[in-house]
Amino acid sequence: MLEPKIISQLRKIVGKESVLTSKEDLTTYSYDATATWAHMPDAVVLPTTSEQVSQVLKLANDNRVPVTPRGGGTNLSGGSIPIKGGIVLCTTKMNKIIDINKTNLNAIVEPGVVLQDLNMALAKEGLFYPPDPQSFLACTIGGTVAENAGGPCCVKYGVTKQYVLGLEVVLASGYIMNIGGVVVKNRTGYELVTLFAGSEGTLGVITKIMLRLLPMPPAQKSMLAIFDDMVVAGKAVSNILSSGVMPSKIEFVDNWVIKRIEELMPMGLPVDADALLLLQADGSTEAVETETQQIVDICQRSGARETRLARDQAEADKLWAVRSAAMAAIFSAAHTVLIEDVTVPRDKIAQFIQQCREISEKYDVCIPLVGHAGDGNIHPSILTDQRDAEHFERAKRAMNEIFITAISLGGAISGEHGIGLEKQHFLDKAMDAMAIEIMKQIKKILDPNNILNPGKIWVE
Ligand SMILES: Cc1cc2nc3c(=O)[nH]c(=O)nc-3n(C[C@H](O)[C@H](O)[C@H](O)COP(=O)(O)OP(=O)(O)OC[C@H]3O[C@@H](n4cnc5c(N)ncnc54)[C@H](O)[C@@H]3O)c2cc1C
């Protein structure tokens, strides 16, 4: 419980209407997109300026009140859950696109800008911001920077941190710090911008973001490859990537997901296929023509039963709707879904898919597979029910074995969703003990009273 005097000071800082304390409001901010975590905050504040964020943090720091930063609340690792109570600092009212500079190919935005709003503003200028988490209708730029989010386009263009040129960050003390800037090359000191990109709200509150942009590719073509064996589809991904051609998207969908989508919203997908690859080439018109043909040839040589090319934008949109529908198909299929995002080296994708199949059989749990196959970043999604202790236990053991499998193949336990609460019990198996210690020391320097998103990344 927060003392009434702190609530009243918060109201003075951000205005009465921007401090929420009713049970209904607090419940709304007590969970995110993960299935198994929830915790009530004591208050939610919605600041509109960096100065307000600074004052809120100073107040919280002086009184040792936990503060959990939050954007759209779409993360899949428990990152925005106020597990120690206190204040949820939600940035959704800080949603201005401050500048888009076509010559410098950059944009300056506030953290609460929704990714789709930025994409639409950029499209009008013929500009392109590649990182494209599939929650783009709801996630905020601040949240995607704090998670270093990925998405289908990242196979060719790289993840969020590769597009962050500079940041304004409010530290736990309330100090407003500027790092990096708008220039594309900047070798001044340590790469602190990269440290904050992916820091999951534990080191500071990001209040302004300078982003690198690209010109919109003039042409793109989408295609579908249908496979009778998902392991063969996995091999096709490695074959494409080793051929020298670089598609702008390579997404994987397995038979369970195909059938579930057809059940919920029929799209004419082949329900007898073991797996689909959804692919896209982009660039100049000539390059796209050549690369599309190369990708189709490789898929066929690798064992695709059939390949289909989207003839126009409407057909391409329909193909990519399959990928968007996949998450809804999975999330709606069970009371509890443990959605993981391990990454394996790209030449190990087929082996990893095969091992996931074996883990599913061993623990007798359904594990649909979908994901950014081009990045070796598959999302094994374990369907379970937290209310059924025996089933949930089996699901958790299957999840642990998936983590162990990914690590043994040279991979990582999280490709894009972050550690948060969901994977912290596994951190010491996935990271050098000295590296964990260095992270803790960095946290201590920046947040000595441990008020920023406490209880996340490592077990306290
Ligand atoms: C349907 C669906 C599809 C998804 N697809 C993808 C995908 O393809 N790729 C991918 O990477 N992720 C994906 N995600 C996960 C999620 O959308 C991303 O993690 C996203 O980056 C979260 O953004 P958000 O604004 O919702 O942040 P939140 O969930 O609100 O917060 C995420 C983390 O960032 C911190 N944070 C938020 N704002 C700030 C700030 N201003 N300063 C400091 N810290 C902050 C929070 O404390 C928390 O730790 C998906 C989620 C869903 C539900």
CA-proximal residue: ligand 1, atom 53 (nearest): 74
Please give the Cα distance from 212 to 164 (Å, whole number). 6
Res. 389 pLDDT band, cuts 50 70 90: very high
Q: Residues lining ligand 1, CB < 6 A?
A: 32-33, 68-76, 79-80, 91, 111, 133-135, 139-140, 142-144, 146-147, 149-151, 200-201, 205-206, 327, 416-417, 453
Question: Would you say residue 131 has pLDDT above 90?
Answer: yes
What percentage of the chain exceeds 90 in pLDDT?
99
Ligand 1 pocket test target in 37, 48, 80 with most atoms within 8 Å of CB:
80
Alpha carbon of 161 to ligand 1 centroid (Å): 14
pLDDT of residue 296: 97
Look up residue 73 and give its two tokens: 């609340």
CB 41 within 8 A of CB 125: no
Average pLDDT over the chain reads 97
* Tens digits of residue pLDDT in 270-293: 999 999 999 999 999 999 999 999
Q: What b/e string do you get for 213-239 counting C-beta neighbours within 10 Å, with b at 16 or more?
A: beeebeebbbbbbbbbbbbbbbbbbbb
Q: How far is the CA of 92 from the centre of ligand 1 (A)?
A: 13
User: How do residues 23-64 score in pLDDT, each as one tens digit?
Assistant: 999 999 999 999 899 999 999 999 999 999 999 999 999 999
Question: Helix, strand, coil proportions of the chain in percent (round to 5)?
Answer: 40, 20, 40
CA of 147 to the centre of ligand 1 (A): 6
Q: Per-residue pLDDT for 1 more than 90?
A: no
**Cα separation of 275 and 273, whole Å?**
5
- Residue 124 to residue 122: CA distance in whole angstroms: 5
For residues 223-245, average pLDDT: 96
What percentage of the chain exceeds 70 in pLDDT? 100
Q: What mean pLDDT do residues 218-238 have?
A: 96
Check: pTM over 0.85? Answer yes or no: yes
Å from CA of 275 to ligand 1 middle: 28
Atom of ligand 1 nearest to the CA of 90: 38
Q: What average pLDDT score do residues 407-430 get?
A: 96
Beta bridge pairs of residue 278: 224, 251
246-256 tens-digit pLDDT: 999 999 999 99
pLDDT at residue 345, as a whole number: 96
Q: What is the pLDDT of residue 35?
A: 87
Question: Exposure string (b/e) for 58-91, b if CB count within 10 Å is 16 or more?
Answer: bbbbeeebbbbbbbbbbbbbbbbbbbbbbbbbbb
> How far are the Cα atoms of 184, 191, 214, 320, 420 from residue 126, in angstroms, in the given order?
19, 30, 9, 21, 36
- Rounded mean pLDDT of 137-166? 98
Q: Would the pLDDT of 222 be above 90?
A: yes
Distance from Cα 306 to the centre of ligand 1, integer Å: 36
**Which of 83, 114, 139, 209 best tests ligand 1's pocket when mutated (most atoms within 8 Å of CB)?**
139
Rounded mean pLDDT of 333-341?
94
Of the pLDDT bands very low, low, confident and very high (cuts 50, 70, 90), residue 233 is very high
Q: Residue 160: name the closest of 124, 115, 197, 189 by CA.
A: 197
The ligand 1 atom at the shortest distance from the C-alpha of residue 328 is: 1
Mean per-residue pLDDT, 330-341: 94
Segment 92-121, tens digit of pLDDT: 999 999 999 999 999 999 999 999 999 999
pLDDT value at residue 425: 94
pLDDT 10s digits, 212-221: 999 999 999 9
**Is-contact 106 98, C-beta < 8 A?**
no
Let me know the angle formed at the C-alpha of 74 by 68 and 79, rounded to the nearest 5 degrees. 35
455 backbone φψ class: left, alpha, beta (φ>0; ψ -120 to 50): left
Give the pLDDT score at 281: 98
